[in-house]
Structure 1
Amino acid sequence: MKSSRQADRFRVSRRRLLRSAVRSVVTVVLWVVVYYLLPLDHGLDVGTAIALVVCLVLFAGMVAWQIRAVTTSQHPRLRVIETLSTAGPVFLVIFSAAYVLLSENQADSFSERLGRTDALYFTVTVFATVGFGDITPVTGTARVLTMVQMLADLILVGMVARILLGAVRIAEDARSAGSGEPPDSEDPVGGDA
């Protein structure tokens, strides 16, 4: 009886993990498709800067909503994995679009003109802090935008990750207080979102 229950729990956990992975992959693919389809050929102006700020504010709102969802989730660890696996790529796509717009409107902004794939590559290079090699920001505007991304990277990796882990702890404490038992240690990822 006990091994049958464990087998059932394992199947349920695998299904939850698979559903979460599929949701994350679909979300990332959709964002990348939108990035490649967006018309990023209009001029740079105050509206473009406002659009970048609005995208970053919406991104922060999405992360805040996800943090709240983690704290109320029955399976907060899995929810955090899903959040991080989607938030990171969305963040990178936002900056990639900004770099494409900058390169399109000020061709001398980088050491070479950036297409969409080049901008995505540059964004990931900055995010991964592997240093510049073939593409570098040249103008003051490009350098400022790159610094903004670097600082946002630190916030995303440091603060958001720490807050998400704290949200997991809150959810697990609430779950164990409600059941009178410690959190389920047999499920390595904590279950479903």
Structure 2
Amino acid sequence: MLALVRPLGATLILLISYFLLPLESDGRWHMVGFAIGGLLLLTFCGWEIRHFLHSTRPVAAAVEMLAAIVGFYLVAFSSAYFLLSEYGVAAFNEHLTRVDALYFCLTVFTTTGFGDITAASQPARIVVSIQMASTLLLLGLGLRFVNLVVQHRLSDSGPAEESGSS
């Protein structure tokens, strides 16, 4: 359970940023915000990888890493849907607020698809299709990759550390 505190905290920070930062504003500050966000994301990814490689509990570190990736993934697609709704011509069957965009992203991610919000334009349908395919990749290949890396780390650790990571 403790392994989820850090990625949930990171996801909470991402969600707060998603709701408070001016995604729809134009100008140079918009680009500065994207640049800073990109640098923070790269720093966070590097830190997660470093943490995983040096962790004495690779299974917990892998769970943390996967939870953090899912949090970022959801906020990134929610932002894309919100921006498509703001700038796209009739991208969805209704104008999306940030809450609507997050809700729509979660219904696509969980394959619930209630049908109350639908992609109406070609660009929106492309982004939704990318999310559908990447969700399968994230869950299928992502879990497999994490499993392989954890097994590799456990085999490198030896029996003494392996029993401490359970």
Q: Fold conserved (TM > 0.5)? A: yes
Query: Which residue of 2 is the match for residue 26 of structure 1?
Result: 9
Query: Which residue of 2 is the match for residue 183 of structure 1?
Result: 162
User: For 1:4-34, what per-residue CA distance to the aligned partner results, in whole angstroms no more than 9, with x for missing partners?
Assistant: xxxxxxxxxxxxx53x333222111101001
CA 1:182 to 1:100, structure 2 compared with 1: closer, same or farther past 3 Å?
Answer: closer
Report the 3-state secondary structure (helix = DSSP H, G, I; strand = E; otherwise coil) of the residue aligned with 1:108.
coil
Task: Give RMSD over aligned pairs.
Answer: 2.7
- Report % sequence identity: 35
Answering whether residue 76 of structure 2 is matched by residue 97 of structure 1, we say no
Contact 2:24/2:86 (8 A) holds in 1: yes
Answering whether residue 154 of structure 2 is matched by residue 172 of structure 1, we say yes
Give the number of the structure with larger relative contact order, counting CA–CA contacts within 8 Å between residues 6 or more apart. Answer: 1
For residues 1-193 of structure 1, what are the structure 2 equivalents within 5 Å?
17-18=1-2, 20-42=3-25, 62=45, 66=48, 69-176=51-158, 181=160, 183-184=162-163, 190=165
CA distance in 2, matches of 1:117, 1:156: 23
CA distance in 2, matches of 1:136, 1:156: 23
Report the 3-state secondary structure (helix = DSSP H, G, I; strand = E; otherwise coil) of the residue aligned with 1:114.
coil
CA distance in 1, matches of 2:134, 2:47: 18
Aligned partner letter, 1:152: S
CA distance in 1, matches of 2:123, 2:149: 37
CA distance in 2, matches of 1:76, 1:104: 42
User: For 1:63-87, what per-residue CA distance to the aligned partner results, in whole angstroms no more than 9, with x for missing partners?
Assistant: x874564344210111111112221
CA distance in 2, matches of 1:65, 1:148: 27
User: For 1:118-157, what per-residue CA distance to the aligned partner results, in whole angstroms no more than 9, with x for missing partners?
Assistant: 0001111111112241011011011011111112212211
Gaps of 5+ in 1: 1-16
Q: Which has the larger radius of gyration?
A: 1
Query: How many residue pairs align between the two structures?
Result: 156
Report the 3-state secondary structure (helix = DSSP H, G, I; strand = E; otherwise coil) of the residue aligned with 2:90.
helix
By how many angstroms is 1:172 displaced? Answer: 0.7
Gaps of 5+ in 2: none
